[in-house]
Amino acid sequence: MALADMRSPIESGCPDGFQYMHPTMRRNFGLWKYHEQPRGGVMCHVAHSGDKVWTVKAGTQRILDLFTLRKLTEIGDKYGEGHIHFTLRSNIEYFVTEESKVQPLIDALEGAGFIVGGTANSVAMISHTQGWLHCDIPGTDASGVVKSMMDELIDDFKNCNMPNRVHITTSCCQINCGGQGDIAINVQHTKPPKINHDLVGNVCERPTVVARCPVAAIRPAMVNGKPSLEIDEKKCICCGACFPPCPPMQINHPEHSKLAIWVGGNHSNARSKPTFQRLVAAGVPNNPPRWPEATAIVKQILQAYKDGAKDWERINDWIERIGWPRFFEVTGLPFTKYHIDNWRGSRNSLNASTHIRF
Amino acid sequence: MAKKIYETPMLDELENGPWPSFISGFKRLRDDHPDERINTVVSGLLGQLEHSYETRKGYWKGGTVSVFGYGGGIIPRFSEVAEAFPESKEFHTIRVQPPAGNHYTTDMLNQLADSWEKYGSGLVTFHGQTGNIMFIGTDTENTQHFFDDINEYGWDLGGAGPCVRTAMSCIGGARCEQSCANEHGIHRHLVNEFVDDVHRPALPYKFKFKVSGCPNDCQNAIERSDFAVIGTWRDEMKIDQDEVKAFVEKKGRDYVLDNVTSRCPTNCMKLNDDNTLTVDNHECVRCMHCLNVMNKALSPGDDKGVSILIGGKRTLKIGDLMGTVVVPFKKLDTAEDYEELVEMAGDIIDFFAENALEHERTGEMIERIGLVNFLEGVGIDVDPNMISSPRQCSYVRMDGWDEEAEKWFARKAEQAAG
Ligand code: HEM
Ligand code: SF4
Ligand code: SF4
Ligand code: SF4
Ligand code: SF4
């Protein structure tokens, strides 16, 4: 196409959401009074005006094919009121203003294979990233890991049986697009990148790659008479940060790229300040198509949490109360030298007291 | 050309189990969709994905693809195994900005589906972790056609690369009694002021806005955005004592003592003998816990506004950082208030553009130069709410003390004068 034929974009930015919002929600914007949770996956919000809106929330496969998307909109037209909201964890929410519409909507969703749940103290939909399906640097898949785990956690998604809500996240490389979670299942590489020296000179901007390394383990070098890069393997922490700017520094490996499991990340300010997740298990095999080893550890942690936590304690609150030694005791996970942090600020994570539980 | 069907024994395993299967959806597109272009592209995708499962490796590489007039918004994907799976050799993702609050009508979703059916693979996600609608899988030419099509009816690309990124906001005022801010308005005022910086990546690295209507921070703003806006209030919380009594009656005093008052992080609540509740609002840190548990009885106050935290980010490169309080409280009632907010965001982005190293996030820059240098650079006064404790080590030069103390008293006097 000649440039002259090209259409200039309309730089409209972020669209106004009010035009798509349910009219009852628009009318009562900022004027809600309280809500109730009649059952898993359903909320009833009551406005100061007396208006009510019932939300029915359902989990989907997140990567939607158009048949599924159209099925979801068809359900919204027939059993909902034509307005839809997607949550941060890619659940779909329908809104109805009559209680009598709730059960038929649930039946329609469940009849079509969607899973109603994910509210209150449930195990929410696992948030996931791109993985082998469409990222350029992944060590594992994302949608497949989540599908396998949700198959096993489905009852905890539907029912609200946990002490408080549980947010699980996954990340398919150590950039960790998945973010903080009460439980996070993330790729953890265990060997330095393998460099294809024939390609580095042509493909990679070497100073950029050198600058990208968090521990200054990369230096420019001539290899076989060609400009390339060299890694000090004793320094390398196998983070994979050099791989995106320089694909010939292959970090992903079918055996050595493993999974690690982290717990206690919590974004909310409720009770304690927001917290980062902490390492609890590593060396977990990256085992497609169903990753059973990772799921088993997640279930072990969830069971211990369910048994031990008090109402309203998130995983971080629970561990804060019982202490880390007891966490390892009740989950049966091994405590190793890798659990002791040596990154910047790590001294703050050491016990400088005689506060010890016996 | 008859489409080729690849064997997918590993992916087939993901059709088992009760959770909806994305693989079954892919197969429907491959086998049942009337458009042969979609059948073949998804067939190739399934082949390549199975290959990834078998070899435990990814096979996409990046490149440069964009639409006319823009520099970003597309995640280019070219297959490294295109010889084996030629049908999906180009499989770019198009990032489209959702409406503030992620609201849709079924009609609009169907219209987007129609457009994507014409030009794409038929796979879409609402939404990616960065907040965009992700239209997954199209080739370079159709990237432009698809964008032209949806851009005509109100949709624009999101950010990708070192630029202002697509913003996110919670459902907030639309359906949540805890909302203390117009998340919608804040979201659009902020990100739409910077459309040029969204579409033409020219910053040291990414810059994200996220908005949560209250300290529950459902948008994960403090940790996941460079510029987090969190609704809050500064007068007394509202207590409906009749509802308190009803709650105590229903749950019992022990439940309230164990789950509400004793969990308050500042011990500022008291359950009285007559089953009413007293809160020392001066001590309350607006953590939301008691409001979450007793949401019918307790509500935020009337003097609402926002706190702003700067510098949250994920692992690369120095490790995860939470945002830091930079504005403890700001009213957002008038057009002027919003102007000030947007101006402040502009100042911070400008300072970031000038002072961050290449590929350094705002939080990392602040870590490197120190919070005080950042505050002086953007013209914000220090405030004890910015820290969790003052300096611990005496190794610092402080010969400007008297002037700094003077400034503090002058500011206090100014505030007192109103
Ligand atoms: C090769 C380049 C990269 C591409 C194509 C890419 C793509 C993406 C995509 C598509 C998402 C949304 C994931 C989903 O929900 O499925 C995402 C999220 C994210 N990415 Fe990247 N990414 C890249 C590199 C990075 C790097 C280098 C970082 C380092 C800091 C990073 C940090 C993040 C974070 C923190 C999120 C979560 C977003 C949020 O909470 O707002 N990404 N990225
Ligand atoms: S976590 Fe890593 S591999 Fe996964 S989507 Fe994000 S950048 Fe890609
Ligand atoms: S993997 Fe990480 S630590 Fe190792 S060389 Fe690359 S950037 Fe440096
Ligand atoms: S952040 Fe607060 S206002 Fe927003 S949806 Fe969550 S609880 Fe409601
Ligand atoms: S909001 Fe938090 S700090 Fe304030 S009274 Fe309630 S529990 Fe205490």
Please state the domain extents for chain B. 1-160, 168-234+303-417, 238-299
What's the average model confidence in pLDDT over B220-246?
98
Longest dimension (CA), chain B: 83
* Long-range CB contacts (within 8 A, 24+) of B382-390: B383/B325, B383/B328, B385/B325, B385/B328, B386/B324, B386/B325, B386/B326, B386/B328
Q: What is the DSSP letter of A123?
A: B
What's the distance, CA B255 to chain centroid?
A: 35
Provide the pLDDT for residue A286.
98
List the beta strands (DSSP E) in A98-217: 115-116, 168-171, 183-189, 194-195
Return the closest-CA partner of residue A124 out of A149, A95, A98, A96. Answer: A149
Q: How confident is the model at residue A6 (pLDDT cuts 50, 70, 90)?
A: confident
Q: How far is B163 from chain A (nearest CA, A)?
A: 14
> What distance in Å separates the CA atoms of residue B175 and residue A23, rounded to the nearest whole number?
11
With a 6 A CB cut-off, is A242 part of the ligand 3 pocket? Answer: yes
With a 6 A CB cut-off, is B214 part of the ligand 5 pocket? Answer: no
Q: What is the CB neighbour count within 10 angstroms for residue B258? A: 15
What's the average model confidence in pLDDT over B285-290?
98
| Digit-coded pLDDT (tens) for A267-313 | 999 999 999 999 999 999 999 999 999 999 999 999 999 999 999 99
> What distance in Å separates the CA atoms of residue B11 and residue B3, rounded to the nearest whole number?
19
Share of chain B above pLDDT 70, in %: 100
What's the average model confidence in pLDDT over A142-162?
97
Provide the pLDDT for residue B319.
87
> What distance in Å separates the CA atoms of residue B210 and residue B164, rounded to the nearest whole number?
12
Q: How confident is the model at residue B169 (pLDDT cuts 50, 70, 90)?
A: very high
Return the closest-CA partner of residue B342 out of B222, B183, B189, B227. Answer: B189
Of the bound ligands, which one is closest to the alpha carbon of residue B262? 5
Q: What is the CB neighbour count within 10 angstroms for residue B271? A: 17
Ligand 3 centre from A251 Cα, in Å?
A: 9
A2, pLDDT greater than 90: no
Q: For B314, which of A55, A176, A343 is closest by C-beta distance?
A: A176
Q: Which residues in A lie closer than 8 A to residue B103 (C-beta atoms)?
A: 17-18, 20-22, 83-85
Provide the pLDDT for residue A41.
98
Q: How far is B96 from chain A (nearest CA, A)?
A: 9
Share of chain A above pLDDT 70, in %: 99
Which ligand 5 atom sits nearest the alpha carbon of residue B267?
8
The fold of B168-234+303-417 is: Sulfite Reductase Hemoprotein; domain 1 (3.30.413)
Q: Which of A3, A11, A14 is the best residue to mutate to test the B interface, defined by the most B CB atoms within 10 Å of its own CB?
A: A14
Q: What is the CB neighbour count within 10 angstroms for residue B230? A: 27
Backbone angles phi, psi at B9, to 5 degrees: -60, -35
Query: What residue in A sits closest to B316 (Cα-Cα)?
Result: A175
> What distance in Å separates the CA atoms of residue B300 and residue B306, rounded to the nearest whole number?
13
Provide the pLDDT for residue B316.
84
What's the average model confidence in pLDDT over A191-220?
96
Domain A18-116 class, CATH top level: alpha beta
Q: What is the CB neighbour count within 10 angstroms for residue A191? A: 14
Q: Given the DSSP bridges, would you call strands B227-233 and B209-212 parallel, antiparallel or unpaired?
A: parallel
Q: How confident is the model at residue A217 (pLDDT cuts 50, 70, 90)?
A: very high
pTM of the model: 0.95
Tokens of A296: 């088993």
What are the residue boundaries of the structural domains of chain A, listed by start?
18-116, 131-190+254-336, 194-249
Q: How confident is the model at residue A179 (pLDDT cuts 50, 70, 90)?
A: confident
Q: Residue B110 and residue A34: Cβ atoms within 8 Å? A: no
First to last CA, chain A: 75
B12, pLDDT greater than 70: yes
Q: Mean pLDDT across chain A, nearest whole number? A: 96
CATH code for the domain defined by B1-160: 3.30.70.2500
| Digit-coded pLDDT (tens) for A308-345 | 999 999 999 999 999 999 999 999 999 999 999 999 88
Provide the pLDDT for residue B18.
98
What's the average model confidence in pLDDT over B83-109?
98
Return the closest-CA partner of residue B125 out of B109, B111, B145. Answer: B109
A34, pLDDT greater than 70: yes
Look up residue A296 and give its amino acid: A
Name residues whose C-beta falls within 8 Å of residue A200's C-beta, 6 or more positions apart in sequence: A206, A226, A227, A228, A229, A246, A248, A249
**Which residues numbered 77-106 in B keep a CB inside 8 Å of some CB on A?**
77, 91, 93, 97-106
The fold of A131-190+254-336 is: Sulfite Reductase Hemoprotein; domain 1 (3.30.413)
Ligand 5 centre from A91 Cα, in Å?
A: 30
Name residues whose C-beta falls within 8 Å of residue A41's C-beta, 6 or more positions apart in sequence: A56, A57, A58, A106, A116, A117, A118, A119, A158
| DSSP result, B271-315 | E-TTS-EEE-TTT-----HHHHHTTTTEE--SSEEEEEEE--B-S
Q: Residue A241 and residue B316: Cβ atoms within 8 Å? A: yes
| Digit-coded pLDDT (tens) for B322-342 | 999 999 999 999 999 999 999
Q: How confident is the model at residue A4 (pLDDT cuts 50, 70, 90)?
A: low
Indicate if B238-299 has the same CATH topology as B1-160: yes
Domain A194-249 class, CATH top level: alpha beta
Query: What residue in B sits closest to A92 (Cα-Cα)?
Result: B126
Q: How confident is the model at residue A3 (pLDDT cuts 50, 70, 90)?
A: low
> What distance in Å separates the CA atoms of residue B87 and residue B37, rounded to the nearest whole number?
9
Q: Which residues in B lie closer than 8 A to residue A272 (C-beta atoms)?
A: 265
Name residues whose C-beta falls within 8 Å of residue A5's C-beta, 6 or more positions apart in sequence: none
| Digit-coded pLDDT (tens) for A92-136 | 999 999 999 999 999 999 999 999 999 999 999 999 999 999 999
| Digit-coded pLDDT (tens) for A46-84 | 999 999 999 999 999 999 999 999 999 999 999 999 999
Domain B238-299 class, CATH top level: alpha beta
Please give, one letter per residue, the 3-state secondary structure of A25-75. HHHCCCCEEEEEEEECCEEEEEECCCCEEEEEEEECCCCEEHHHHHHHHHH
> What distance in Å separates the CA atoms of residue B46 and residue B49, rounded to the nearest whole number?
5
Indicate if A194-249 has the same CATH topology as A18-116: yes
Which residues are A230's β-sheet partners?
A219
A179 or B29, greater pLDDT: B29
A5, pLDDT greater than 70: no
B1, pLDDT greater than 70: no
* 8 Å CB contact between B98 and B134: no
B352, pLDDT greater than 80: yes
What's the average model confidence in pLDDT over B3-19?
96
> What distance in Å separates the CA atoms of residue B215 and residue A268, rounded to the nearest whole number?
7
Ligand 4 centre from B215 Cα, in Å?
A: 7
Provide the pLDDT for residue B318.
87
B170, pLDDT greater than 60: yes
Q: How confident is the model at residue B88 (pLDDT cuts 50, 70, 90)?
A: very high
What's the average model confidence in pLDDT over B36-58?
98
**Which residues numbered 313-342 in A keep a CB inside 8 Å of some CB on B?**
none
| Digit-coded pLDDT (tens) for B119-150 | 999 999 999 999 999 999 999 999 999 999 99
Which ligand 4 atom sits nearest the alpha carbon of residue B181?
3
Provide the pLDDT for residue B315.
85
Which residues are B168's β-sheet partners?
B210
Provide the pLDDT for residue B210.
98
Residues in chain A: 358
